[in-house]
Amino acid sequence: MTAPTNEICISVNGEATTIASQSSIADLAQQLDLPLRGVAIALNGEIVARSAWGTTLLESRSKVEVVSIAAGG
């Protein structure tokens, strides 16, 4: 996927997604309409605390994993 110059291409849970460049994880959370509680995010394999979402910027080809609870175990 090629993105316009003001957008970057990232991966969210294994799916290619575009987002405005200079976006933070908080911006992505808004774009994905994530709930306020019950989710956690890892960026390139490292957990990003919710308190740091606003200051953690995404880069082209960032790999984001968004997890929550599911029935099981």
Partner 1 sequence: MHNYPPLRVSNHEFASRLITGTGAMTSLAMLRASLIAAETSMTTVAIRRFDPHASTGLFEMLEELSLSVLPNTAGCYSAKEAVATAKLAREALGTDLIKVEVIADDATLLPDGLETLRATAELAEAGFCVMAYASDDPILARRLEQAGASAVMPLGSPIGSGLGILNPYNIETIVANAGVPIILDAGIGTASDAAQAMELGCAGVLVASCVNRAEDPPTMARALALAVEAGYLAHSAGRIPKRSSALASSAAFGIAELG
Find how far residue 64's CA is from the centre of its chain. Answer: 5
> Given the rule CB under 8 A, which of 2-10, 19-27, 36-44, 54-62 is the region that contacts partner 1?
36-44
**Residues between 8 and 27 that touch partner 1 (CB under 8 A):** 13-14
**Min separation Cβ 17 and partner 1, Å:** 13
The answer for residues whose C-beta is within 8 angstroms of residue 22's C-beta and 6 or more apart is 57
Q: Please, are residues 65 and 13 in contact by the beta-carbon 8 Å criterion? A: yes
Residues binding partner 1 (CB under 8 A): 13-14, 32-35, 37-42, 45, 47, 49-50, 65-73
